[in-house]
A and B are shown apart, each in its own frame.
Chain A
């Protein structure tokens, strides 16, 4: 199985900050990497697919980059509604696997 190592596991930042979450795959997954946002009590919501493609309706302050084994999710100009847990997920091969999540809090 492909392991997805996500860091940090938690993050505290101020409104207006730019933050970066990283995800490292245990083997080459090309660009088959998605990012999801899950707010407390809600279902996961797709943010980014194929490493850098912004899903419909997602604010442009979210961006993704990377290929191969290293990927990043960047949130610029942090907003209160960005408080959530973020997950990466590889879709290169079955079984699809998720990172452990990054819990984002506002200082």
Chain B
């Protein structure tokens, strides 16, 4: 079955960077792009961007340009997202999501990675 396994929770100091991983299994990883979504505490969902798992090119929400950098490692079926120069505004749960089922919507989600920025 399709699974997206994300890396564990992070507690980081302001100003540093953090890199989250998302490993896909149960499907051909390079057949579907990987999306990333942010959910701040008790808030709605924000689409960060999408990366082609085959070509490695990415499209970003303008709001997250310079903040998020998405990469992929096809050999390990893993997508990564690095968040730079962290502030308290970046404290949130970050999800990876794939369209591996329907091909039209985010039907498979990782379990989420909590990032807490605190001094």
Contacts and interface: CB of A to CB of B under 8 A. Distances in A.
Interface of A: 1, 32, 34, 36, 43-46, 49-50, 53, 55-56, 87, 89, 91, 94-101
Contact of B46 (A46, A56, A98): A98
Interface in B83-119: 95, 97, 101-102, 104-107, 109-112
Interface in B23-61: 35, 37, 44-47, 49-50, 59-61
Interface residues of B, number: 25
B75 interface: no
7 contacts: A1-B62, A46-B102, A49-B102, A49-B107, A53-B104, A95-B49, A95-B60
A96 B112 contact: no
Contacts, number: 66
B110 to A, nearest CB: 8
Given A43-B95, A43-B112, A95 B105 contact: no
A98 B47 contact: yes
B95 A96 contact: no
Contacts of A49: 102, 104-105, 107
B109 A96 contact: no
Q: 7 smallest A-B Cβ distances: which pairs? A: A49-B105, A95-B61, A34-B105, A96-B47, A98-B45, A46-B107, A43-B109
Contact of A94 (B50, B101, B104): B50
